[in-house]
C-alpha cells in the first residue's frame, strides 16, 4: 500500500492523537507476535520517547523535527506519538518505505507522517557525503549516508559547539565491529544488511573517523549499552 508522502496534509486533532502510545496499547495488532518475539521488544508505558520527553517538561507538540537514520521497526516505534513533527530521512530510505519493503512495518506510518527527503549531495563532511537538512531548527544537523544496513541508511551528525556527535544508527550494532570483522555479531549484521558490501564499507569509514578525528567527533550507536549515557535508566527486562 502506498504510504502518505509530502506535502503536509490536513489532519484533524482527533486523528493526530489517535495513535498515541499505540504500540504499547496494542502491540500484537500493531507489530505482530512473531516480530515481537524475534526482536525481543518490551512494552511499558513509561518508556516511550513521548513519556521521557514529558518527564523533561516538554509537550509532544514541542517535537517539531524527527531525524530517521532508517525506518526499521525498532527505530520507528513511537513515531506516531509526534504527528506534528516533520520526519527527515534520505530519499533512498523513503523510497524503500513507500515501496512497502518487507523489513518495514506499515502500521508505524499509517498516521501519515510529514516526510522531508534528501537526495545525494556533493557536500562533504570529514571526507563523507553530507546532506544538509532543510529545517531552520536543524542548521547544525546533517544526514551522513552510511548505506548497507538498509539502502538509504544514514548517520545523523549534530554539531555541539566545537565538536560533532555522529549517531550511526545501525551502521554497527556493537562498537567492537569497528575494530574486528570477526566479532560474533558480524554474522547477524551481515544477515540484516540489504547490501553487505556497502555495510562493510560504511564500517571502514567509521573506523577511519575514529582513528583520525576522535577529537572532533563523538560516535555512538543505538544498540550498544556501553555507549548509553551513564545516567540513562537501564531497559526493563521482564
Give least dist CB 182 to Zn ion, A. Answer: 22
Buried b (16+ CB within 10 A) or exposed e, 112-142: bbbbbbbeeeeeebbebbbbebeeeebeebb
Our CB check for Zn ion shows the closer of 23 and 170 to be: 170
Binding of residue 72 to Zn ion (CB under 5 A): yes
Our CB check for Zn ion shows the closer of 132 and 195 to be: 195
Span of 39-47, 70-78, 95-103, 210-218 interacting with Zn ion by CB under 5 A: 70-78
Q: What gap in Å lies between CA 212 and CA 13, rounded to an integer?
A: 49
Q: In which residue are the cell numbers 501519515 written?
A: 112
Binding of residue 129 to Zn ion (CB under 5 A): no
Our CB check for Zn ion shows the closer of 81 and 170 to be: 170
Binding of residue 93 to Zn ion (CB under 5 A): no
Span of 34-42, 67-75, 113-121, 207-215 interacting with Zn ion by CB under 5 A: 67-75
Binding of residue 81 to Zn ion (CB under 5 A): no
Q: In which residue are the cell numbers 508522502 written?
A: 5
Residue 233 is classified by DSSP as P
Binding of residue 177 to Zn ion (CB under 5 A): no
Residue 206 is classified by DSSP as H
Our CB check for Zn ion shows the closer of 154 and 178 to be: 154
Strands of 68-153 (E only): list them.
86-90, 114-118, 124-125, 128-129, 131-132, 141-145
Span of 69-77, 108-116, 121-129, 157-165 interacting with Zn ion by CB under 5 A: 69-77
Give least dist CB 95 to Zn ion, A. Answer: 17
Q: What gap in Å lies between CA 124 and CA 9, rounded to an integer?
A: 33
Nearest to 66 by CA among 94, 85, 46, 90: 85
Binding of residue 170 to Zn ion (CB under 5 A): yes
Our CB check for Zn ion shows the closer of 47 and 194 to be: 194
Our CB check for Zn ion shows the closer of 60 and 77 to be: 77
Q: How many Cβ atoms are within 10 Å of 210's Cβ, its own excluded?
A: 16
Phi, psi of 130 (to 5 degrees): -135, 135
Give least dist CB 70 to Zn ion, A. Answer: 6
Span of 68-76, 82-90, 108-116, 180-188 interacting with Zn ion by CB under 5 A: 68-76
Q: What gap in Å lies between CA 108 and CA 196, rounded to an integer?
A: 26
Our CB check for Zn ion shows the closer of 138 and 193 to be: 193
Binding site for Zn ion (CB under 5 A): 72, 170
Amino acid at each position: 500500500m502506498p504510504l502518505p508522502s509530502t506535502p503536509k496534509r490536513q489532519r484533524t486533532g482527533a486523528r493526530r492523537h489517535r495513535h498515541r502510545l499505540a504500540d504499547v496499547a496494542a502491540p500484537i495488532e500493531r507489530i505482530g507476535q512473531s516480530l515481537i518475539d524475534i526482536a525481543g521488544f518490551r512494552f511499558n508505558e513509561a518508556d516511550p520517547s513521548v513519556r521521557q520527553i514529558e518527564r523533561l517538561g516538554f509537550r509532544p507538540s514541542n517535537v517539531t523535527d524527527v531525524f530517521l537514520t532508517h525506518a526499521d521497526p525498532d527505530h520507528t516505534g513511537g513515531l506516531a506519538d509526534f504527528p506534528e513533527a516533520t520526519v527527515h530521512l534520505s530519499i533512498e530510505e523513503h523510497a524503500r518505505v513507500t515501496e512497502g519493503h518487507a523489513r518495514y512495518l506499515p502500521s508505524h506510518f499509517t498516521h501519515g507522517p510529514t516526510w522531508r527527503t534528501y537526495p545525494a549531495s556533493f557536500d562533504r563532511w570529514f571526507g563523507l557525503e553530507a546532506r544538509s537538512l532543510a529545517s531552520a531548527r536543524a542548521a547544525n544537523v546533517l544526514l551522513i549516508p552510511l548505506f548497507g544496513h538498509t539502502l538509504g541508511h544514514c548517520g545523523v551528525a549534530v554539531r555541539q559547539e566545537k565538536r560533532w556527535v555522529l549517531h550511526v544508527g545501525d551502521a554497527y550494532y556493537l562498537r567492537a565491529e569497528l575494530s574486528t570483522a570477526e566479532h560474533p555479531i558480524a554474522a547477524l549484521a551481515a544477515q540484516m544488511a540489504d547490501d553487505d558490501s556497502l555495510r562493510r564499507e560504511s564500517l571502514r569509514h567509521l573506523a577511519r573517523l575514529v582513528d583520525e578525528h576522535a577529537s572532533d567527533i563523538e560516535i555512538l550507536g543505538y544498540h550498544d549499552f556501553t555507549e548509553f549515557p551513564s545516567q540513562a535508566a537501564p531497559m526493563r527486562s521482564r
